[in-house]
Chains A and B, each alone.
Chain A
């Protein structure tokens, strides 16, 4: 258990987006969060990664309480994330987009920039090496000098992964990593996610594509209307009454 949430709740006005969710992420595993649209999955991610402060509850990372930490501090601790939409800089090359990913591990400031100090040169080199390394890992070496505007949606997703990896994380949170890509490409991205877990990274992802989740995840949590309704292995989730109800809206149909 590398990360734990305890009774995490988030209210937006009178709207309860996430309610009393206690969840633990297992180290080195692929942890998945699924649920119908509007179930509070992305909000749950935003709470953990510090984009929104939770209304109630606590978050622990390796035993340290990180509930009130700002997003950038959380990233420094080793929690990286991607977003549903890849907010990349379209007019810059893939490589240039990824270089800044390692910025949080560097210390160069304005003074270094103006006087082009040794530290800046050294750290720039580290950032560039890191970028090459993660581009290689994500299979983007061949497009690294192309403009982001000119690469495919799937490649953009990979760039987002690469950026997250450049921060040297221990956990990566992937928010719908395969949204908007075709089935073949989904397969490719799933392989990449597996590769990340094999490398020792802890992965936590939100997905809608059931087939992919069932073959990929080690552990699944199901959210519905902001509440955790089930948790377990893919096998357990598949046969869970509540989950089937939530997805199919009642009936007893189980495939």
Chain B
């Protein structure tokens, strides 16, 4: 009971902190970075659902992020649709493309799956980069509108955008939490654990893998659409492989297959790299070795490390309690 209360309190404090942040910190730049961090975290959650909980490492995630972003961009700029309708459609389009790609990609496993999806991701980049008549190629898409006001609420100020992102972010976390803790989540974990065993337990691995894949593309698409609506300018580089590997790094540092991992990893690295900006690309000299060490000593990232030590500590405590009781008796 104490544990539950503590956990709940920590979450409440974090949410409260996020809500009051714009009042504590008047620096618009930080607000901008945090908003972006929320958006990236959503994408990382999608990746984590597939790679962390289902055991399929997709390297096309940046590509799907870009499909979401371009989906919103093209629907509003070229399609003339309203923001919110486009915002609704963009993740759905990403999902539909994800469904088709997933049908093929999931015929492969393990590193073959990673390689296949890496290629898919690069092809998505190439399509966006080269299909100039549709995407404007390297010139990028300019003039993506800001979210239209809903009733009296407008989304033109950075603070309003921050809150909008925060609300969607919290919703995503809630949904992911519920999925992971449901029978569907248990099914995904069973597949990650052993596909053969899952099959023999009567689980349709095909169906569930596809579900997880499509869900992951949905969150990538959602994050992409939010990014496009927030930055309001997008170029093909958002589909590039580096984005995929950035997302992957956030997930691994935070903790693959953990619920808090995407938040911890994304925020930590984004804030760190902001503070190390003066080092420019030499930042990688710090990140590279850190990442390597982390993978060697804690394959499940920072959150995994904490969870492991927490559970060890708990077992120890449990083991010692009976002894004490014996002494007393």
Give residues in A with beta carbon < 8 Å to B: 49-51, 70-73, 75-76, 80-81, 83, 87-89, 92, 96, 99-101, 103-104, 106, 108-110, 112-114, 116, 120, 123-124, 127, 147, 150, 163, 166-167
Contact = CB atoms under 8 A, between A and B. Distances in A.
Given A113-B179, A116-B178, A167 B202 contact: yes
21 contacts: A49-B200, A51-B196, A71-B199, A72-B200, A72-B201, A72-B205, A75-B199, A87-B194, A87-B196, A100-B187, A100-B189, A103-B183, A103-B187, A103-B201, A104-B202, A110-B215, A113-B178, A114-B179, A120-B183, A127-B183, A163-B201
Top-9 shortest CB links A-B: A104-B202, A75-B202, A87-B194, A113-B182, A71-B199, A89-B193, A113-B184, A100-B186, A87-B197
B255 to A, nearest CB: 12
B179 A75 contact: no
Given A113-B178, A150-B315, A80 B200 contact: yes
B311 interface: yes
Contacts of A114: 175, 178-179
Interface in B204-222: 204-205, 211, 215
Given A72-B205, A100-B190, A103-B190, A124 B199 contact: no
A59 to B, nearest CB: 15
A163 B205 CA distance: 17
A198 to B, nearest CB: 24
- Interface of chain A: mostly helix, strand, loop or mixed: helix
A90 to B, nearest CB: 9
Nearest to A123: B183
Contacts of A116: 178, 182
Nearest to B192: A89
B311 A147 contact: yes
Given A76-B202, A104-B203, A113 B197 contact: no
B185 interface: yes
A150 B204 CA distance: 30
**What bracket does the count of chain B residues touching chain A fall in?**
20 to 34
Given A113-B184, A147-B311, 14 more contacts: A51-B199, A72-B202, A73-B202, A75-B201, A87-B197, A100-B201, A103-B186, A103-B190, A104-B201, A108-B183, A110-B184, A114-B179, A124-B182, A150-B315
Contacts of A147: 311, 315
Given A87-B194, A113-B182, A113-B184, A103 B202 contact: yes
A124 B178 CA distance: 13
B202 A108 contact: no
A175 to B, nearest CB: 10
A103 B191 CA distance: 12
Contacts, number: 94
B196 to A, nearest CB: 7
A49 B196 CA distance: 11
Contacts of A76: 202
Given A120-B182, A127-B183, A75 B200 contact: yes
Nearest to B194: A87
Contacts of A81: 200
A23 B121 CA distance: 50
A50 to B, nearest CB: 8
A99 B186 contact: yes
Nearest to B195: A87
A163 to B, nearest CB: 7
Contact of B203 (A103, A124, A127, A150): A103
Contacts of B202: 72-73, 75-76, 103-104, 167
A71 B185 CA distance: 21
B263 to A, nearest CB: 20
Among B186, B187, B202, B205, chain A packs the most CB atoms within 10 A around the CB of B202
Contacts of A51: 196, 199-200
A127 B193 CA distance: 19
A87 B182 CA distance: 21
Nearest to B179: A113
A203 to B, nearest CB: 16
A111 B96 CA distance: 18
Nearest to B184: A113
Given A88-B193, A100-B190, A110-B215, A72 B183 contact: no
Nearest to B308: A91
Given A113-B179, A147-B311, A83 B184 contact: no
A110 B211 CA distance: 9
A110 B186 CA distance: 12
A163 B311 CA distance: 24
